[in-house]
Amino acid sequence: MKTKVILTSLTFILTMTTLTSSFSQNPARTGKQVFEFRALPYSYDALEPFIDKMTMEIHYTRHHRAYYDNFIKAIAGTEWESMTLTDIFATVSKAPAVIRNNGGGYYNHNLFWENMAPHGHGGQMSDELKQAVESAFGSVEEFVRQFNDAAKGRFGSGWAWLAKDAQGKLFISSTPNQDNPLMDVAEKRGTPLLGLDVWEHAYYLKYQNRRPDYIDAFWNIVNWNAVNQRFEQ
């Protein structure tokens, strides 16, 4: 039993390391880009009881899959298929809505899966990140409060973010629909470090209309190891 737990933990750590590095490198390529539909880095029930198995399964296999498929279909044969996601987002105001919505959905969910981990497997904020959080928000508690407010205050569907601007300063923001801070349409622009999906599809089966409970539960499954790594890049 003990051996099984250790093996499961090792598999999880190895998968996360591989996924995080392949996702973060995003090498600039010439010609057609390769956009992969990556495996979920844990099982559907791994985030229980904070996010239930059925929500994870539907969210990943239906919603995420649809964003991916529609994004790939939308860019096929167009100038957008040779661009990186970062470059697409930087000029997304000129792109058709189908690319903005589905490209955003594909990227945002990849980040979301990565910045969660089974309870007890996500590590903690690095000293460097903690220092940056305290410098930007005063304290970790104040950061959590402001992030929660951004997530609760998003009217309708969207996301809450912790992101880093061009000067390396942290900020919290919220975007509607599948927009994100990398997009030229975002009010505050920067690189997302941590994202929380506040679409109802992310929580309704378990939490119904209690979005604040889902937001509180999220802090139990944050993968700080992944967030730390993104902060350092």
Least CB distance to Fe ion at residue 67 (A): 8
Nearer to Fe ion, 179 or 197 (CB): 197
How far is it, in rounded angstroms, from Cα 76 to Cα 87? 16
Least CB distance to Fe ion at residue 215 (A): 14
Nearer to Fe ion, 111 or 193 (CB): 111
Least CB distance to Fe ion at residue 139 (A): 30
Q: Which two tokens stand for residue 137?
A: 């928000």
Residue 197 within binding range of Fe ion, rule CB under 5 A: yes
* DSSP classification of residue 39: P
Nearer to Fe ion, 143 or 203 (CB): 203
Among residues 194, 179, 184, the alpha carbon closest in space to that of 230 is found at: 194
- Three-state DSSP at 97 gives helix
Residue 114 within binding range of Fe ion, rule CB under 5 A: no
Backbone angles phi, psi at 39, to 5 degrees: -65, 145
Least CB distance to Fe ion at residue 63 (A): 5
Site map (CB under 5 A) of Fe ion, residues 148-187, x = contact: ----------------------------------------
Nearer to Fe ion, 143 or 199 (CB): 199
Least CB distance to Fe ion at residue 112 (A): 7
Of 19-27, 73-81, 150-158, 196-204, the window that binds Fe ion (rule: CB under 5 A) is 196-204
- Three-state DSSP at 216 gives helix
Least CB distance to Fe ion at residue 221 (A): 15
Nearer to Fe ion, 158 or 190 (CB): 158
- Nearest 5°: the CA angle 139, 114, 89 is 90
Nearer to Fe ion, 126 or 157 (CB): 157
On the question of a cis peptide bond just before residue 49, with omega within 30 degrees of 0, the verdict is yes
Nearer to Fe ion, 101 or 228 (CB): 101
Q: Quick one: residue 31, left, alpha or beta (phi over 0 = left, psi -120 to 50 = alpha)? A: left
Contact 42/226 with Cβ under 8 angstroms? no
Cβ count within 10 A of residue 83: 21
Least CB distance to Fe ion at residue 203 (A): 10
Total of residues contacting Fe ion (CB under 5 A): 3
Among residues 139, 132, 160, the alpha carbon closest in space to that of 228 is found at: 132
Footprint of Fe ion (CB under 5 A): 197, 199, 202
